[in-house]
Amino acid sequence: MEGQQTVQSATESTTKQFVSFRVHTRCYAVPIETVVEMTLLQNPEPIAGAPSWICGMMRLRDSVVPILDLRKRLGMGDLKQEVTEIATELQQRKNDHVVWLQTLEESCASGARFELQKDPTQCAFGRWFYAFDTEDETLGNQIAKFEEPHNQIHALADLCLGLATDGKQDEAQEIIDNARETELRDMIDLFDHTTREMVDRSRQMVIILQGEAENLGLAVDRIDSVATIEDTHIDPRPLHELERTGSADDMLVSHVARSTEDDGIIQVLDVDRLFSTAGIGSQPVVEDAETAA
């Protein structure tokens, strides 16, 4: 029995744990043993003369921690600017539809030609909506809620203008008044709720990594979970042959993990290189339990 247990344990695969997180739509991770803590990024103080991807420094209890913005280090746009642009777009399109229904009301009452777009796929919001693409499932589901009330509002144009042409202005007005309290109200609530949600999601998180002399904060879009991954699902970093020529000095990936939950890939970051790219000494070597013993 004892011999059988020894053989079984030798064939079992070992696992490693990582803190996984998102930057834009991509999934990254760092070994859990390198992480001191995780916290919200709060008004980092700029460091004079620092590279653009160092967004500043934060006071964390009795220490000051420099913060590396992984988005900028990877050449991506600023998260707050990206969210602000989408939020501004949403608020403009909300105002468009308030004006759209008001203009329809005036056309029905006066008989003036209705010049605005009737096709929901061709108005400014419709063009943005049907072109919008995201791998963020939560955001995608929220944006998808616009389709039904948006289509219902645009369907009012032909209906109400037809009634007005037939001399049924009062009936057209009643439909418009009802739409203002239902479909349009639903649209306005969606615009406002989505804007607030996006602003909340623009608040970056910071992963504090342990260093030899000082720690380093890593600013990311959001933290997913602690992932336990079998060694058999972890591969060496891609393009590792570039190491021979020194062309891989800027590569921040140490390994690639294949997610067991979906077909996704988790890029495991090289923590030593994160420190060196921020101008900080490498992190200490963390011994595993067997080596320490």
Which tops the pLDDT comparison, 32 or 198? 32
Smallest CA-to-CA distance from 54 within 206, 173, 198, 181 is with: 206
Q: In this structure, which amino acid lies at residue 283?
A: Q
7 within a domain of the structure (yes/no): no
Q: Is 67 in the same domain as 99?
A: no
Last residue of a domain, one of 176, 201, 226: 201
The pTM of this model reads: 0.68
Last residue of a domain, one of 170, 201, 232: 201
Q: Is 127 in the same domain as 62?
A: no
Q: Is 197 in the same domain as 209?
A: no
Q: What tens digit of pLDDT does each residue of 190-212 get?
A: 999 998 888 877 788 999 999 88
4 within a domain of the structure (yes/no): no
Q: Is 188 in the same domain as 214?
A: no
The count of residues in the chain is: 293
Q: Is 146 in the same domain as 190?
A: yes
- What pLDDT shows up at residue 290? 44
Share of the chain above pLDDT 90, in %: 51
Last residue of a domain, one of 158, 179, 201: 201
Quick check: 261 and 233 in contact, CB under 8 A?
no
Q: Please give the C-alpha separations between residue 282 and each of 212, 241, 275, in angstroms, as whole numbers.
A: 7, 23, 6
262 within a domain of the structure (yes/no): yes
179 within a domain of the structure (yes/no): yes
Quote the CA–CA distance of 285 and 33 in Å, as a whole number: 10
Both structure tokens of 277: 């790219």
CATH number at residue 22: 2.40.50.180
Q: In sequence order, which ranges of 206-256 are alpha helices (DSSP H)? A: none
Quick check: 66 and 51 in contact, CB under 8 A?
no
The domain tally of the chain equals 2
Q: Is 101 in the same domain as 187?
A: yes
Q: Is 116 in the same domain as 212?
A: no
Q: Is 48 in the same domain as 129?
A: no
65 within a domain of the structure (yes/no): yes
pLDDT band at 243 (very low <50, low <70, confident <90, very high): low
Examine the pLDDT at 175 and tell me if it is beyond 90.
yes
Quote the CA–CA distance of 235 and 52 in Å, as a whole number: 31
Q: Is 186 in the same domain as 47?
A: no
48 within a domain of the structure (yes/no): yes
- The parent domain of residue 101 ranges over 82-201
Quick check: 68 and 217 in contact, CB under 8 A?
yes
Q: Is 99 in the same domain as 190?
A: yes
279 within a domain of the structure (yes/no): yes
For 76, phi then psi, to 5°, come to: -90, 165
Helix (H) or strand (E) holding 271: helix 271-277
CATH number at residue 161: 1.20.120.30
Examine the pLDDT at 5 and tell me if it is beyond 70.
no
Quote the CA–CA distance of 23 and 190 in Å, as a whole number: 25
237 within a domain of the structure (yes/no): yes
Q: What tens digit of pLDDT does each residue of 67-114 get?
A: 999 999 988 888 888 888 888 889 999 999 999 999 999 999 999 999
Q: Is 257 in the same domain as 165?
A: no
Q: Is 175 in the same domain as 225?
A: no
